Every structure is written in C-alpha cells, then in structure tokens.
Amino acid sequence: MAAVGLDHDVPHAVQHGLSTRIKSIVDDVVDEYTVRNLPLLQRELDAAEERKARSYRPDRGLDPEFDGLPVDPDPVPGEPYLFTLAGLAGAEEPVAEDLPAPLTEEEKAALRTEIRLADECAIHAGKLVCLAIEPHRERILEAVARYVEPQIEALLADLTLELDAPPSW
C-alpha cells in the first residue's frame, strides 16, 4: 500500500481490493515456483489438501442433544437437495496403512529449507509487484481522489444531517 500511497487516510475497502489482488499475484508466483522447484513441499501441500478434503465429518463435535441423530433431515418429496452433509463427508476415514510414513530428520530439514525458499520467493515477488506498481502511484491517487473522496464526502454530509444537534440550554 505504501508503494502506491494508499497506506494511510484511505478507506479499508480500497486498500483491501488492491492488497487482495497483489496477494493473489504473489500466491500464483509462489505456487508456480513450488511446483517447479520444491518437490517435498509440494508433496506435503498436496497431502494436506487430500487429508483436508476427506476429513470433513459433519457428525463430530455436535452438542450432546444431537448425538446419534442423522446429519441430514428427511427428504421432502419433490424437493431435491443441492447437497447433503453426509455426501460432503465423502469416503470413510483413512486407516493407518493409508497414512504416509512420518518424515525422517533429513526430510524435515529439507522441508524447512524448502519452506524458507518459498518464503523468500514470496518476499521477492512482493517486492517486484511493488516496483511494478509504484510508477502508477499518481494515477491511482488521482482515481481515489476522483471516485472515492466524493463518496466519503457524501457519506459525511449524510451523517451530519442524521445526527441530532446537542441541546442548547
């Protein structure tokens, strides 16, 4: 935000829109770098996604009064479900032989190195985005002044109309 002058005195929505887009760009660069250069980290990320996808259990963690009840209501004839919670739960839980072997000390050290490299890639990509966007600073600030500032002024004017004047004793 500082690279384009939006680090202060700008509504959160303006900052959020730009920072979300920048984060998306950086994430894409890091994802591509990870796929190409960091096989151990990519394997761990893929395994985590797979575990997450099959770990949804809608019947777990419910209050005691729901214990043993079906997670989906009885179907109403003629009204289809878009989805069912039982259907989202997917396959059965993995058994011990489906789980990957624990990482060795060497693999853990290599994974730490790959995580550090991915972090460095993210920092570098973020700096490159800042360098690329900085020349557009004036145009961005002009757009904020032209489109955002009038909206803020209108909101403030509406607010002053809605507020009750303090009593004059």
Is residue 114 situated within a structural domain? yes
The pLDDT of residue 112 is 97
User: What's residue 8's pLDDT?
Assistant: 85
Q: Is residue 64 assigned to a domain?
A: no
Q: What is the pLDDT of residue 19?
A: 92
Domain-embedded: residue 51: no
The verdict on residue 73 lying in a domain is no
Of the candidates 32, 5, 35, which has an alpha carbon nearest to the alpha carbon of residue 18?
Answer: 5
pLDDT of the residue at 95: 55
- Name residues whose C-beta falls within 8 Å of residue 41's C-beta, 6 or more positions apart in sequence: 34, 111, 114, 115, 118
Q: Is 146 exposed, middle or buried (0-12, 13-18, 19+ CB in 10 A)?
A: exposed
**pLDDT score for 77:** 84
Cβ atoms of 84 and 72 closer than 8 Å: yes
Q: How far apart are CA 75 and CA 83, in angstroms?
A: 11
Residue ranges, the chain, pLDDT below 70: 53-56, 59, 61-62, 64-65, 88, 90-99, 164-169
Radius of gyration for the alpha carbons in the chain, expressed in angstroms and rounded: 26
Alpha helices in 38-148 (DSSP H): 39-54, 85-89, 105-133, 137-143
- Residues 64-100 pLDDT 10s: 667 777 777 777 888 877 777 777 676 565 555 566 7
156 part of a folded domain:
yes
- Separation CA 26–CA 55 (nearest Å): 29
Q: In the chain, how many domains are there?
A: 1
Domain extent at residue 22: 2-36+103-162
Asked if 37 and 29 count as a contact pair (C-beta separation under 8 A), the reply is no
In a domain, 75, yes or no: no
State both tokens at 151: 């909206």
| 7 within a domain of the structure (yes/no) | yes
In a domain, 141, yes or no: yes
CA distance 142 to 133: 14
- Count of residues in the chain: 169
Give the dihedral sign, CA 67/68/69/71.
positive
